[in-house]
Structure 1
Amino acid sequence: MSEAPVPWFDVPEAEGLWEGDLVEAEVAGERVLVVHHVDGSFAAYQGVCPHQDFPLAYGKWDEEEGTLTCSGHGWEFDLGSGAGVNPSGCRLYRYPVRATDAGAVRIGIPQDGEAHHHRCREM
């Protein structure tokens, strides 16, 4: 049985986003963090920390290292992969993302009635 196709949604907040910057957006009812890496690629992750749902957009973003530290309790994530750096056993939910030559950014949000974010207890 094949999975239903994932619909794509425009993210106007991410249009014109500078390389090395990030922005939070609400996309199809999901809180999403969009990252424009210094290499020009885009990534999109859950917008809240898996620890206690603190908004990740308020965290300390080190664009050169590619890491984001949550300002809530200092959890750190690799925004190239979504993997937890500290603690290492946790990860961010990653959404598919497309950027067009015209500068539009689109996020794929599954329409399955589920919340699309990971939760992790204290490690």
Structure 2
Amino acid sequence: MSDAPVRWFDVPEAEGLWEGDLVEAEVAGERVLVVHHLDGSFAAYQGVCPHQEFPLAYGKWDEEENILTCAGHGWEFDLDSGAGVNPSGCRLYRYAIRATDTGAVRIGVPQDGEAHHHSSREV
């Protein structure tokens, strides 16, 4: 994550999200994938695959293994860390995330003027 100041945004799409489910949301103009892990924790990653920017929310998530497979071309990502599993040389940008006792979910977006996603074109 960036060292730039972070601005927090409410993500109503993620409120009431069941454990073992994920949802895509637009946050401050960025596509974000919100994941509600089986252990109750949340994570937020870039919402598009680094390969060809296919929406990750269309992928298949194995909640037990925490592996998301992109529906576009089968790239796989560990949703505990955002690391690429296949291929291993890529990773998803991870956003700061907060969930409150009231069910509100907030995403922290760095205020650095950058697009917050990794691309295989950058490698």
Asked whether the two chains share a fold, i.e. TM above 0.5, the reply is yes
Q: For each residue in 1:22-79, what CA deviation from the matched residue of structure 2 results, as whole angstroms up to 9, or x when unmatched?
A: 0000000110000000000000000000000000000011111101000000000000
What is the SS of the residue equivalent to 2:24?
strand
What is the SS of the residue equivalent to 1:31?
strand
- CA change 1:12–1:4 in 2 (3 A) is same
Find the counterpart in structure 1 of residue 9 from structure 2: 9
Within the alignment, does 1:90 sit opposite 2:122 as a pair? no
TM norm structure 1: 0.94
TM norm structure 2: 0.94
**Segments of 4+ moved more than 3 angstroms:** none
Give 1:74-113 correspondences, 5 Å limit: 74-113=74-113
Structure having the higher strand fraction is 2
Give 1:1-123 correspondences, 5 Å limit: 3-121=3-121
- Code of the aligned partner of 1:112: D
Q: For each residue in 1:63-98, what CA deviation from the matched residue of structure 2 results, as whole angstroms up to 9, or x when unmatched?
A: 111010000000000000000000001000000000
Q: What is the rounded CA distance, in whole Å, between the counterparts of 2:4 and 2:64 in structure 1?
A: 37
Taking only aligned residues, the RMSD between alpha carbons, in angstroms, comes to 1.2
- Which 5+ residue runs of structure 2 have no aligned equivalent? none
Q: Among the aligned pairs, what percent are the same residue?
A: 88
Q: What is the rounded CA distance, in whole Å, between the counterparts of 2:59 and 2:39 in structure 1?
A: 21
- CA change 1:88–1:16 in 2 (3 A) is same
